Amino acid sequence: MSERSRWKRLAKCLHAARLPALLITHLPDVRYLCGFTGSSAALVLLAGTSQVRARLFTDGRYRDQARAEVRGATVRIVKGNTLHAAAEWLAAGSVPVCGIDASHTSLATQSQLTKALRTAKSKCRLRALISPVTSLRQIKSEAEQQTLARAAALGCDLYNDLLTFIEPGLREIDIAAELECRARKAGADGMSFETIVAAGPRSSMPHARASAAPIRPGELLTLDFGIMLDGYCSDMTRTVQVGQGGTLGRQRHQREVFEAVLVAQQAAVEIVRDGVSAETVDAAARKTLKQAGMAKWFTHSTGHGLGLEIHEGPRIAAKQDEPLRAGMVITIEPGVYLPGQFGVRIEDTVRVTETGCEILTPAYKGWLEL
């Protein structure tokens, strides 16, 4: 979907909802529609009968940047509150009703806007919609898919290179620091979320923060990280065994859980294609873990969409009966977490296609002893 067709699709949504206007303040949505990357913005769309007119309100800090970045909208630099300026534009256009995004508008913003409209002598009512732009963002354009693929490929390269760095005795934070350093030097804008490096018993916490704990020989290490590239996120997880050690029993147990998670991950990846529901993909991973008697330790959903944000729609989880569509980019990341013992998670980012999916993170994911 090109940028032009983004506006068109949005105009269609507004038309269907009989809404002549929409106010957007969620920054990734603003960026998606008009390219602006600043930290303060109110984007107003007026959907006329023939075309959409859009105006971006931001403050003096972003004067030059807004002019350089914004496409498809006029820019107004505001002294004071951008919401007030937006309200005045709605008032000037005698707009009777304006949509706001229920998921990204706070009660305080709603009340501020209501007051500003009253001050501007507007009779415009506000109507809450569920994520009108965020839902458009689920299906990525060709250009977005390419950027996501580049981000994922850089993530893979970083992971592959890091394997020779990892060894027993290193602390989790050393590994996180090294990875983030290398990412920055390789051209990433930064990380898309706090890097998870968790070894041994700490790997049983799915979202463990990297700690100062040193890795002991034979422990499993879960590495879950993402970079940002041109505004888009990557996301991948691998679990490896670091060195050799521990009882034979534990070694066998680790390997057994690992193989079960790998089978589950592959089963879910295999089933992904245009038209298949998200819950079906989730169920595929859960089913194989159930057969292995491990389903109760798989305590989170199977995946999520990603793009300008690390967590976007669709959710790959139970009760999500919407079909996946070609052009969606999602993660597949089942895991098994044995409290106090260890955990395993394997995650790929994949691009949904008409006939299946393309794995954007093709780094080796089989059993690995470093």
| Six-digit token string for 327 | 């052009």
29, 144, 180, 347: residue in contact with a second copy (rule CB under 8 A) = 180
Closer CB to a second copy, residue 286 or residue 351? 286
- Would you say 121 or 185 has its CB closer to a second copy? 185
Least distance between a second copy and beta carbon 180 (Å)? 5
176 touches a second copy (CB under 8 A): yes
| Using rule CB under 8 A, residue 63 touches a second copy | yes
Contact at 8 Å (CB) between 236 and 306?
Answer: no
Member of 3, 157, 189, 259 binding a second copy (CB under 8 A):
189
Q: To the nearest whole angstrom, how small is the minimum distance from the Cβ of residue 192 to a second copy?
A: 12
Two tokens at 220? 């499993």
Q: Does 110 bind a second copy (CB under 8 A)?
A: yes
In a 10 Å sphere around its CB, with 0-12 CB exposed, 13-18 middle and 19+ buried, how is residue 173 labelled?
middle
Of 30, 42, 59, 88, the one binding a second copy (CB under 8 A) is: 59
Q: What CA–CA distance (Å, rounded) separates 7 from 20?
A: 14
One of 49, 106, 164, 247 touching a second copy (CB under 8 A): 106
Name the residue nearer to a second copy (CB basis): 103 or 291.
103
Q: Residue ranges of the alpha helices (H) in 272-369? A: 278-291
Position among 191, 272, 289, 306 found at the interface with a second copy (CB under 8 A): 191
Give the chain's end-to-end CA distance (angstroms, integer).
Answer: 43
Distance of alpha carbon 64 from alpha carbon 57, whole angstroms: 13
d(C-alpha 154, C-alpha 150), whole Å: 6
Give least dist CB 237 to a second copy, A: 13
Are 363 and 238 in contact by the 8 Å Cβ rule? The answer is yes
Out of 18, 50, 108, 164, the residue judged to bind a second copy by CB under 8 A: 108
Nearer to a second copy, 14 or 78 (CB): 78
37 binds a second copy (CB under 8 A): yes
Query: Which of these, 369, 370, 368, 365, lies nearest to 334 by C-alpha position?
Result: 365
321 counts as binding a second copy under rule CB under 8 A: no
Q: At what angle do helices 107-119 and 82-92 cross, to 10 degrees?
A: 50
At residue 276's C-alpha, the angle toward residues 272 and 280, to 5°, is: 80
Q: Does 295 bind a second copy (CB under 8 A)?
A: no
Query: What is the smallest separation between the CB atom of 206 and a second copy, expressed in angstroms?
Result: 4
Site of tokens 């890097």: 195
Cβ closer to a second copy: 104 or 253?
A: 104
Please spell the DSSP secondary structure of 200-235, one letter per residue. Answer: GGGGGSTTPPP-SPBPPTTEEEEEEE-EEETTEE--
Q: Min. distance of Cβ 22 from a second copy in angstroms?
A: 14
Interface positions with a second copy (CB under 8 A): 37-39, 59-65, 100, 102-108, 110-111, 128, 130, 173, 176-177, 180-181, 184-185, 187, 189-191, 194, 204-209, 299-300, 339-340
